Amino acid sequence: MKKILIIQTASLGDVILSTPLIEKLHHFYPNAHIDFLLKYGYEGILLKHPKLRHVIVWDKTEKKYKHLKELIKIVRNKKYDLVVNVQRFFSSGLITTFSGAEMKVGFAKNPLSIFFTNRIVHTINTSANSPHETERNLKLIEHLTDSDSFSVKLYPSNQDMALVSQYKTKKYITISPGSLWFTKQFPEQQWVEFLSLIEKDITVYLLGSPKERDLCERIIDKSHHQLSLNMAGKLTFLQSSALMRDAVMNYVNDSAPMHMASAMNAQVAAIYCSTVPEYGFGPLSDNAHVIQTKEQLGCKPCGLHGLKECPKEHFKCAITIKNEQLINLLN
């Protein structure tokens, strides 16, 4: 096998959870050229990845379907031997179907999977023995490799490591307070209260995208924690990951920063509001903690991906999480 394409054009977290495929395919086919297709805006997470040849970007922001048509041509012209489609949507199914690859592998849930050479069942439930998403993804290539697990992994450059080293001179933690979904985001006021309880000699770096800069600034201002720095929008994905690696603790929601921490095997405290780790998207670090409400709520979980607002209008899954659950991890 000489040329392989992995497709995952969903969220940043989904891309990170697909990285074990890169690791395993490279392990079994070390001489193969492996490419990765993802959504515009997330290409930085795989920048200069040592086991990838090319990162192909699909710009969905404007003229989405015009770009899709162009993308199909690009993929077809590359003459891949294997296409591994990690996504379960029609558009990625089109790219796979018309790729011209001899082997087309994807999940049976994809509406165009009838045209794949291998269709793998993808099941999400909340049972205690439900597999992690990384395990579900690796099932796609089990027939070409074996049944062993491989870890999520990111590769910050030496330059990334050098840049963030200036922030590692003293004991520090990171907080990533944002999320794409309201019901997956620990409330702003509770972040404020938590930050105000942190010892004054611990430096706190608040991480996030440029869109989350105002949120981080408000949390710092209201908490009055003197050693807090707003880093939202100032670091790349890989630089943030490099900073997370050596933190005393990384506090995150059920969102991409949790998976960034996992990919660096960094200590992580994952706060689950409306979702549950049993869905198979939980933290994978050796030192990982899941924080949830201790109340029994019949409405939790209310969805796989989170929602724009609480359906019950009380958001008890978040507001009943106690500050002690977070702060005790620093003692």
Percentage of the residues of the chain whose pLDDT score is greater than 90: 93
Q: pLDDT tens, 188-234? A: 999 999 999 999 999 999 999 999 999 999 999 999 999 999 999 99
pLDDT at 239 over 80: yes
Mean pLDDT of 242-246: 98
Q: pLDDT tens, 246-303? A: 999 999 999 999 999 999 999 999 999 999 999 999 999 999 999 999 999 999 999 8
pLDDT band at 136 (very low <50, low <70, confident <90, very high): very high
Compute the distance between CA of residue 18 and CA of residue 137 in angstroms, rounded to an integer: 7
What is residue 243's predicted lDDT score, i.e. its pLDDT? 98
Q: How high is the mean pLDDT of the chain?
A: 96
Percentage of the residues of the chain whose pLDDT score is greater than 70: 100
pLDDT band at 242 (very low <50, low <70, confident <90, very high): very high
pLDDT band at 65 (very low <50, low <70, confident <90, very high): confident
Mean pLDDT of 25-38: 98
Delimit the domains of the chain by residue range. 3-144, 158-330
pLDDT at 96 over 90: yes
Q: pLDDT tens, 147-190? A: 999 999 999 999 999 999 999 999 999 999 999 999 999 999 99
Mean pLDDT of 233-245: 98
Q: Do domains 3-144 and 158-330 have the same CATH topology?
A: yes
CATH of 3-144, one of 3.90.640.10, 3.90.550.10, 3.10.310.30, 3.40.50.2000: 3.40.50.2000
Residue 81: closest CA among 33, 136, 145, 15: 33
pLDDT at 127 over 80: no
CATH of span 158-330: 3.40.50.2000
Instruction: Give the 3-state DSSP-derived string for the chain, with helices as H, strands as E and coil as C.
Output: CCEEEEECCCCHHHHHCCHHHHHHHHHHCCCCEEEEEEECCCHHHHCCCCCCCEEEEECCCCCHHHHHHHHHHHHHHCCCCEEEECCCCHHHHHHHHCCCCCEEEEECCCCCHHHCCEEECCCCCCCCCCCCHHHHHHHHHHHHCCCCCCCCCCCCCHHHHHHHHCCCCCCEEEEECCCCCHHHCCCHHHHHHHHHHCCCCCEEEECCCHHHHHHHHHHHHHHCCCCEEECCCCCCHHHHHHHHHCCCCEEEECCHHHHHHHHCCCCEEEECCCCCHHHCCCCCCCCEEEECCCCCCCCCCCCCCCCCCCCCCCCHHHHCCCHHHHHHHHC
Report field, pTM of the whole predicted structure over 0.75: yes
